[in-house]
């Protein structure tokens, strides 16, 4: 047995490990790391949300089954690779999709099926609360779901004893503690940066607004207690140990860090928790998280205000559409290859096609595209229709076609980011990018750097994901030295020797993106017309 393998085996036996489990929208993943922050083993469970009675939801059976399956798979990998059974772990943490609504009575019964962040059923509530608080309350936030239920006079409201997020629920189930990490809490209700707790004035305003309804509860009574990264937030109970590990080998008493949201774990996994840093997550949707130095001057519906796991304010720009249309076009090109009797690997297809964008005119040759598979809040579209548009004078070639589709993937994000950088003069020193687009080197980074006019880096660890970031937060709780901040822990221990490739914005690309985005804004009327006339 080599020295490193022997060290890992001893770490597992002694419980010098940390476990992070994250409930994503399509996968639940468990990652066990050692005290050098390297992954020892992982397990996962695929799942899908369901539309039931008008709400997107995951049922409790799937939640528990997924939890147990992800843990069991991870445990089996350890047994297979190291010949030992996990009986203890140094620290554990849970994270999940933020926002949504899980309401329970005093017996712990779930009062209505879990309503996820995806539900767009809270338009009236979100608008009323935004006006009441003078603070942007997005439709997916927990408080919007609660207030919409009040507006709808739902029958379960008098019975409410506790409301929480998915991560908060799992933590409560396994520890008995009704707590939540501040990053996840900031997607339930606005946070006061100074007190590191729910905004007291807004809590009072909410209670006054609903007082005529006569509920026996006040808002603060039913929200989970806010915790900061590094705090101990409970221990694994005997019941919790039996739920997590169906084989009943895992012993109770393991300390838990505060449960967090997937935005917070993404920040940790990309070392983007310091002020003036940020990260961009690219997939079916795209969002940027920028850690702010100061408050914004006014309320912007395009920008959510949340926090890092240590409580620093973060501006979040979230666009619903990103890579779906680009992937669809590349699927069409794959069909062409196959019709010509050719076979091509996916990575090669993306590499060849994306790199064509580097040969294009700076603005994409006058072409225009909208990859709107769904509505887009930043540009005010309730529904989407993917479109490709050109004039007879446009320079229609493959290079410009690919550049246009890369530009438009970040078009809505660019509009939101311009509010921060141009209207609010927010300074950004560096952006960390992660997502499948960056498997092809350089191209995606150059486009994002042009969109944000900021250096963009991709880290060797960027593919590790939120479950790994959650394990890091669990490790921070156990292994930090006195008064060591999360920022210091990440800089000096976790990411000290991690390789990263940084690309600075190219003037040619920046100028071209600015020209494209003006065309994109003017053409939104075309997209709106398509929504109104191309009916499903």
Tell me if 497 is assigned to some domain. no
Predicted confidence (pLDDT) at residue 536 exceeds the cutoff of 70: no
Quick check: is 344 in a domain? yes
d(CA 376, CA 520): 14
In which domain, by residue range, is 384 found? 324-409+508-533
Say how far apart CA 92 and CA 243 lie, in whole Å: 14
DSSP-derived pairing of the beta strands 191-192 and 197-198: antiparallel
Q: Provide the pLDDT for residue 462.
A: 61
Given a cut of 50, whether residue 176 has pLDDT beyond it is yes
pLDDT for position 460:
75
Q: In this predicted structure, what is the pLDDT of residue 463? A: 61
Q: What is the pLDDT of residues 91-126, one digit of tens each?
A: 999 999 999 999 999 999 999 999 998 887 899 999
**pLDDT (average), residues 259-284:** 92
- How is residue 531 written in tokens? 């929504």
Q: What percent of the chain has pLDDT over 90?
A: 84
User: Dmax of the chain from CA atoms?
Assistant: 71
In a domain, 348, yes or no: yes
Query: 355: helix, coil or strand?
Result: helix
Q: Is residue 65 part of a domain?
A: no
Q: Has residue 519 got a pLDDT over 90?
A: yes
Whether 2 has a pLDDT exceeding 70, the answer reads no
Distance set, CA 497 to CA 7, 42, 472, 492 (Å): 20, 23, 16, 9
Write down the pLDDT at residue 119. Answer: 83
Mean pLDDT computed over 353-372: 97
Q: Is 208 in contact with 132 (CB distance < 8 Å)?
A: no
Element (H, E) at 73: helix 60-82
Write phi, then psi, for 496 (nearest 5 degrees): -55, -40
Mean pLDDT of the residues in the chain:
94
Mean pLDDT value of segment 339-344: 94
Average pLDDT over residues 189-205: 97
Residue 332 forms part of a structural domain = yes
**131: pLDDT strictly greater than 90:** yes
- The verdict on residue 481 lying in a domain is no
Cβ atoms of 144 and 129 closer than 8 Å: yes
Question: How many structural domains comprise the chain?
Answer: 1
Q: Do the domain assignments include residue 75?
A: no
Lowest mean pLDDT among 71-80, 247-256, 266-275, 404-413: 266-275
Sheet of 91-96: strands edge to edge?
39-46, 27-33, 18-23, 91-96, 260-261
Distance CA 272, CA 361 (A): 33
The answer on pLDDT for 1 being more than 50 is: no
Give backbone dihedrals phi and psi of 33, rounded to 5 degrees, phi first: -120, 160
pLDDT in tens, 5-21: 888 999 999 999 999 99
| Residue 392 pLDDT > 90 | yes
CA distance 222 to 205: 16
Residue-level pLDDT at 117:
87
């Amino acid at each position: 047995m080599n020295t490193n393998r022997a060290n890992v085996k001893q770490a597992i036996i002694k419980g010098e490990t940390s476990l992070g489990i994250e409930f994503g929208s399509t996968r639940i993943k468990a990652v066990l790391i050692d005290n050098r922050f390297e992954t020892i083993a992982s397990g996962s469970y695929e799942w899908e949300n369901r539309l039931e009675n008008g709400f997107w939801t995951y049922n409790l059976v799937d939640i528990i089954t997924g939890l147990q399956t992800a843990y069991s798979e991870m445990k089996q990998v350890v047994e297979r690779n190291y010949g030992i059974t996990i009986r203890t772990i140094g620290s554990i943490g849970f994270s999940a999709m933020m926002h949504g609504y899980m309401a329970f009575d005093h017996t712990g019964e779930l009062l209505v099926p879990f309503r996820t962040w995806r539900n767009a059923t809270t338009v009236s509530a979100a608008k009323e609360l935004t006006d009441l608080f003078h603070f942007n309350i997005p439709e997916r936030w927990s408080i919007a779901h609660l207030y919409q239920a009040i507006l709808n006079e739902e029958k379960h409201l008098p019975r409410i004893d506790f409301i929480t997020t998915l991560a908060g629920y799992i933590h409560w189930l396994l520890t008995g503690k009704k707590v939540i990490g501040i990053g996840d809490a900031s997607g339930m209700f606005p946070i006061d940066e100074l007190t590191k707790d729910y905004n007291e004035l807004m809590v009072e305003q909410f209670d006054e607004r609903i007082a005529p309804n006569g509920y026996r509860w006040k808002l603060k009574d039913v929200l989970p207690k806010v915790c900061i990264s590094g705090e101990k937030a409970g221990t694994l109970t005997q019941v919790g140990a039996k739920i997590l590990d169906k084989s009943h080998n895992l012993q109770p008493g393991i300390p838990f860090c505060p449960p967090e949201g997937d935005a917070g774990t993404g920040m940790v996994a990309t070392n983007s928790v310091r002020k003036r840093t940020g990260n961009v997550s690219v997939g079916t949707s795209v969002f940027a998280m920028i850690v702010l130095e100061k408050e914004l001057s006014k309320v912007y519906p395009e920008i959510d205000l949340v926090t890092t796991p240590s409580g620093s304010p973060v501006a979040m720009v979230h666009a619903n559409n990103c890579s779906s249309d680009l992937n669809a076009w590349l699927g069409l090109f794959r069909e062409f290859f196959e019709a010509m009797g050719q076979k091509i690997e996916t990575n090669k297809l993306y590499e060849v096609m994306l790199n064509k964008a580097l040969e294009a005119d700076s603005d994409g040759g006058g072409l225009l595209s909208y990859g709107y598979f769904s509505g887009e809040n930043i540009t005010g579209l309730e529904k989407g229709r993917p479109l490709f548009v050109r004039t007879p004078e446009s320079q229609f070639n493959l290079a410009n076609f690919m550049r246009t589709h890369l530009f438009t993937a970040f078009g809505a994000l660019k509009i939101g980011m311009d509010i921060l950088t141009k209207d609010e003069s927010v300074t950004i020193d560096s952006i960390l990018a992660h997502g499948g687009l960056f498997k092809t080197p350089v191209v995606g980074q150059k486009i994002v750097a042009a969109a944000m006019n900021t250096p963009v880096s991709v880290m060797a660890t960027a593919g590790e994901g939120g479950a790994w970031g959650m394990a890091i937060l669990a490790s921070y709780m156990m292994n930090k030295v006195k008064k060591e901040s999360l920022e210091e822990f990440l800089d000096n221990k976790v990411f000290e020797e991690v390789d990263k490739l940084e690309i600075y914005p190219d003037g040619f690309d920046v100028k071209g993106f600015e020209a494209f985005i003006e065309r994109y804004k003017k053409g939104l009327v075309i997209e709106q017309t398509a929504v109104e006339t191309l009916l499903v």
